[in-house]
Structure 1
Amino acid sequence: MSVAKATREQLGAAVHQNKALSRTGMLERMFSSLFQGLVYAQIWEDPDCDMEALEITPEKNLVSISSGGCNMMSYLSRSPASILVVDLSPAHVALARLKLKAAEVLTQEQFYDLFGHADRASNPALFDSHLAPELDETTRNYWQGRRVLARRINMFARGFYRYGVLGRFLTSAHWLAWLGGVKFDKLLAARTLEEQQAFYDSEIAPQFKRPLVKFLARRRAALFGLGIPPAQYDKLAADGEGDVLPVLQHRIRKLICDFPVSENYFAWAAFNRGYRSDGTGPLPPYLQARHFDAVKAAAANVEVHNISLTEALAACPVASKHGYVLLDAQDWMTDTQLNALWAEITRTAADGARVVFRTGGVPDILPGRVRQDILDRWEYQPDLSTKLSAEDRSAIYGATHVYVFRG
């Protein structure tokens, strides 16, 4: 079976819940087709929340879904014993492997040029001279392969964070904001939360009254660019009593108003489509110079695979893992898929193991769906979950949930 066909089948199993010729089924297949390429150039879950939830120490063995790879790289700042990383997107796997090898072989300055600035004309040559000879054949071929007229690695000379499905979505959102007269420079220069609130009230809140914004927000396909499949869109809308518009408005307000923009790199990702150009702005942990030595030292302890999380765990020994990062993947799953995943999580969990995940809606999605005999072995952490939900600076999810294994 070809890699492309295997990828299509894996993504279909994860996303397709309805018949192909139904309206929702066609949307699901449109969505899964996007995941065959690069979706997230950077991840949209706050790694500081993950690390607090997981209580990472040097003896811990972790499991994580990759997405853009930023968070698993940030976990390395805590020097875990190992991380098993998986993703169904070959592009995400290639990106994760590129980041790991770059941490191993580059200097901190070179590493930051590639993933911090991500727009240096010298980056493709840096790849050719330092990284290409060190990468596995599949990853090397991916980055040397072509998209349109240029090699994929050339994205790092042109502003990598503007690429991928999310990057194109943010570009479209900027264009829509421009049509509405919004300029984000004022927000990014704000010095206080009061100035950020004033910007939201005067510039952003009125946009939600525009007919075009209302029309687009209420189309399920319009949010594919945020990585939101039809099943997750419905969970978002449920929080707004069937209307996704007030939910989106609330979460954008949280992103703009609840955290100082000088400390929130997710705000820069959304409103600047990249980190601050002079390198002085907020950054994810793995790009902070003070963590580089720890990230470099631990990078060899990571394995990255292009398979499902359930399949990866099935090959792991009993009681061998201490932390699991599921992102929002469970929002996509059927009850059968959820139970298969949690059976493997429970089998491989060591005493005190922790699971952290996000949901598009606010409620925890496991009760009533995962078998009770499995859930009885886990203890939900309501206080910590509420705390981390409030502190997640990405602001895109309804909630963060944490479970601890009771044995």
Structure 2
Amino acid sequence: MTEFAPDAGFRKNRKLKDALLQHKALSKAGFSERLFGLLFSGLVYPQIWEDPDVDMAAMELCPQHRIVTIGSGGCNMLAYLSKDPARIDVVDLNPHHVALNRLKLAAFRHLPAHADVVRMFGMEEVETNSLSYDTFLLPNLDEATRCYWNTRTNMFGRRRIEVFNRNIYKTGLLGRFIGFGHLIARLHGVKLQEIAETRSLREQRQFFEDRIAPLFDKPLIRWMTSRKSSLFGLGIPPQQFDELASLSAGKSIAPVLCQRLEKLTCHFPLRENYFAWQAYTRRYPTVDEGILPTYLKSENYHAIRRNAGRVEVHHASFTELLAQKPANSVDRFVLLDAQDWMTDKQINELWAEITRTATQGARVIFRTAAEKSVIEGRLSETIHNQWTYLRERSQALNTQDRSAIYGGFHIYEKAA
């Protein structure tokens, strides 16, 4: 188990700095990168924003598969366990995400029942969650993770774990960004949470066209979305903002964001899309309102609990972990949107290790802010020729991604 510094800030987190910083500190681009790094050094994603059902369909997971994935909020790693993979290695440069992933794994292994897991990760205002942590999880955590969740971090002297007594999804960089978005909408007379009152796709579209879409024509919102720092709260670094801006005719990316929210709001029934519930109501649906995330569904509980011991969480970069693995030892690679941040050199170093460690028929999946695959035209010919881009399958699955915030979903398969 790779050790990590649970409270390492951006200045102390060399792994994160190496991944983010590409320009000199006194340059405009360098300042943006460092500002993003400071914000990104705390908890960013209480929930991962990639659809795990799309991931699993793309990977065609089988019981013998060995997976390496980026952790983020930990939801998808747990969902993959429902397919009985042989092993999952989780990597993340953010120590807060490392602690969250390890906590979620411990919860499945040591909380008494499925209902206890749902209360901790799927419900809000459950004041007994920290007591469940003390009773069942605390004795079973490694020292660094225990230290992280026991740390008292605010003026009220609360331990970090007590956020689960309230609503963790209102915290973290993303949770606060969504809350700020709700505030801006309210200033323009729109209560986003009222979408929960809709009962059909037709009503959802009407809500979007009447209340949400007009917000993107407001001067304040167009001004805000023309600034790179405005989307740092979504975990979108300067490089990824540039990718989104390339899709828009003007400086503002308001039209692109409006298009992505149209998909989130109108393409899937609300009761089937827990991503929309988090965006618009800042919570998960109740049993009567809709479905929970894949990892919290009752039908997946026993498989995840049984397989949780097959996961190891590392405070490391993807390339760093793969460099420690033998050749032909990994079947599936999940990169999320990390390559949007990378230089050509970093991408080629990553894919060199992916290619070395990949088994025959291995698959790599990732997402991009823009529509096109970020490795095309950037990956060396020698490496690129060893992989086949499953373009049609990628495009088909992209339309099914309920999170709706990415422009492209991509699948590459190791050529025979």
TM-score, scaled relative to structure 1: 0.97
Gaps of 5+ in 1: none
Q: Could you tell me how far 1:35 is from its partner in structure 2?
A: 2.2
1:235-250 equivalence runs, <5 A: 235-243=243-251, 244-250=253-259
Structure 1 distance, partners of 2:125, 2:311, is: 27
Q: Deviations over 1:80-132 (max 9, x none)?
A: 11100000000000000000011011111111110111431000111011100
The amino acid that maps onto 2:22 is Q
Matches within 5 A, 1:227-266: 227-243=235-251, 244-266=253-275
The one of 61, 70, 74 aligned to 2:75: 70
The residue number in structure 1 matching 2:19 is 14
1:57 aligns with 2:65: no
Could you tell me whether the CA contact under 8 Å between 1:119 and 1:160 is conserved in 2? no
- Residue 120 in structure 1 maps to residue 126 in structure 2: yes
Q: Is this contact kept in 2: 1:318–1:347, CA < 8 A?
A: yes
SS of corresponding position for 2:320: helix
On the 8 A contact 1:386/1:400 being kept in 2, the answer is: yes
| Distance in structure 2 (CA, Å) of the matches to 1:403 and 1:2 | 31
Aligned length: 407
Q: Does residue 276 in structure 1 map to residue 285 in structure 2?
A: yes
Match of residue 147 from structure 1: 153
For 2:330, the equivalent position in structure 1 comes to 321
Q: Is the 8 A contact 1:7 1:88 kept in 2?
A: no
Per the alignment, residue 99 of structure 1 pairs with 104
Match of 1:302 among 294, 311, 314: 311
Q: Helix, strand or coil for the counterpart of 2:246?
A: helix
Q: Does 1:183 align with 2:188?
A: no
CA distance in 2, matches of 1:159, 1:68: 14
Aligned residue in 2 for 1:164: 172
Where 1:391 maps in the other structure, the secondary structure is: coil
Contact 1:7 1:89 in 2 (8 A): no
> How far apart are residue 189 of structure 1 and its match?
2.3
Query: What is the CA distance between 1:57 and its match in structure 2?
Result: 0.9
Counterpart secondary structure, 2:392 = helix
> Residue type of the partner of 2:276?
A
Query: What residue identity is the alignment partner of 1:385?
Result: S
What root-mean-square deviation, in Å, do the aligned CA atoms of Structure 1 and Structure 2 show? 1.5
Contact 2:44 2:235 in 1 (8 A): yes
In structure 2, the residue matched to 1:383 is 392
Deviation at 1:158, TM superposition (A): 1.1
Aligned counterpart in structure 1 of residue 94 of structure 2, from 71, 89, 102 = 89
What do the CA deviations read for 1:323-356 (whole angstroms, capped 9, x no partner)? 0100000000001100000000000000100010
Which of the numbers 140, 151, 162 marks the counterpart of 1:134?
Answer: 140
Change (3 A) 1:111 1:2: closer
Cα pair 2:63 2:85 within 8 Å, conserved: yes
Label 1:277 to 1:283 Cα distance change in 2 as closer, same or farther (>3 A): closer
- The residue aligned with 1:32 is 37
Q: SS at the partner of 2:147?
A: helix
DSSP 3-state at the match of 2:13: helix
Q: In structure 1, how many angstroms separate the alpha carbons of the residues matched to 2:40 and 2:194?
A: 34
Question: Percent same amino acid among aligned pairs?
Answer: 48
Q: TM-score, normalised by structure 2?
A: 0.95
Give unpaired runs (5+ residues) of structure 2. Answer: none
Distance, in Å, in 2 between the alignment partners of 1:47 and 1:397 is 14
Please list the CA deviations of residues 218-239 of structure 1 after superposition, one character each: whole Å capped at 9, or x if unmatched: 1110100100000000000101
- Whether 2:366 is the aligned partner of 1:361: answer no
Is 2:4–2:95's contact at 8 Å kept on the other side of the alignment? no
2:201 to 165, 190, 193: 193
Instruction: Identify the residue that residue 229 of structure 2 maps to in structure 1.
Output: 221
In structure 2, what is the Cα distance between the partners aligned to 1:125 and 1:191? 37
Task: Give, as a single letter, the amino acid of the residue that structure 1 aligns with 2:174.
Answer: L
Residue type of the alignment partner of 1:266: F
In structure 1, the partner of 2:355 is 346
The separation in 2 between residues aligned to 1:397 and 1:355, in whole angstroms, is 17
Query: How far, CA to CA, are the matches of 2:282 and 2:101 in structure 1?
Result: 20
Aligned-partner Cα distance in 1 for 2:57–2:287: 29
